[in-house]
């Protein structure tokens, strides 16, 4: 049996059963998609959004007459039962059926996008919020023919659009995706290697 001189052994680093010269950086493994734990996080957040969204909407529909509501925090926060047959902020009204079909396609695209971009935890959270919001509003379109909106915020006569938990999740998701696009390092936080 021949032995190598100690100086030759010191020059090599053993990594994953391969000998790599110390001067050459080891090849970074190729990311093949989110881990099972990351998929669980993604799914759990989406389910939590759908459940919270649907429970609150069910409560509003059962306890408040359509078009009416009540004050929670003076004029700053009201719960008002309204329906939106369009998309976010009431744009393109009377299109619930068309948007239900579009929502199904969007849901598939969100899952596929997470499969590709869900390496960082920020992107997993963002896509999970987007998925939960899309599913929550899709359920409304299928059940009521419109999205149930109930959160009315503002100061005095200055009001924001009436929205729901699904809308809030979608908006938060879009902000996170925008920030990650502007600052790519954010998209890599908490990478799932």
- Distance between start and end Cα atoms, the chain: 40
> For residue 66, how many C-alpha atoms fall within 13 Å in the half-sphere facing its CB?
6
Is 167 a catalytic site residue? yes
Q: Which of 12, 167, 192, 193 is catalytic?
A: 167
Is 16 a catalytic site residue? no
Q: Which of 53, 149, 192, 193 is catalytic?
A: 149
Alpha-carbon distance 170 to 178, whole Å?
Answer: 12
Dihedral of alpha carbons 54, 55, 61, 67, sign? negative
Exposure string of 42-53, with b = 16+ CB inside 10 Å and e = fewer, is: beebbeebbebb
- The single-letter DSSP state of residue 93 is -
Active site positions, annotated: 149, 167
């Amino acid at each position: 049996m021949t032995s190598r001189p100690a100086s030759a052994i010191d020059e090599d680093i053993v990594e994953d059963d391969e000998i790599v010269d110390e001067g050459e950086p080891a090849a970074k493994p190729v990311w093949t998609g989110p881990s099972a734990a990351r998929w669980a996080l993604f799914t759990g957040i989406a389910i939590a959004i759908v459940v919270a969204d649907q429970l609150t909407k069910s409560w509003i529909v059962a306890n408040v007459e359509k078009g009416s509501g009540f004050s929670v925090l003076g004029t700053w926060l009201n719960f008002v039962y309204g329906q939106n047959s369009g998309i976010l902020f009431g744009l393109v009204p009377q299109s619930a059926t068309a948007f239900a079909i579009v929502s199904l396609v969007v849901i598939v695209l969100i899952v596929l996008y997470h499969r590709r971009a869900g390496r960082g935890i920020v992107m997993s959270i963002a896509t999970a919020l987007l998925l939960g919001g899309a599913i929550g509003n899709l359920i409304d379109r299928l059940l009521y023919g419109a999205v149930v909106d109930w959160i009315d915020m503002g100061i005095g006569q200055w009001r924001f659009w009436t929205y729901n938990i699904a809308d809030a999740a979608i908006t938060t998701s879009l902000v996170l995706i925008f920030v990650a696009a502007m600052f790519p390092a954010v998209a890599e936080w908490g990478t799932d290697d």
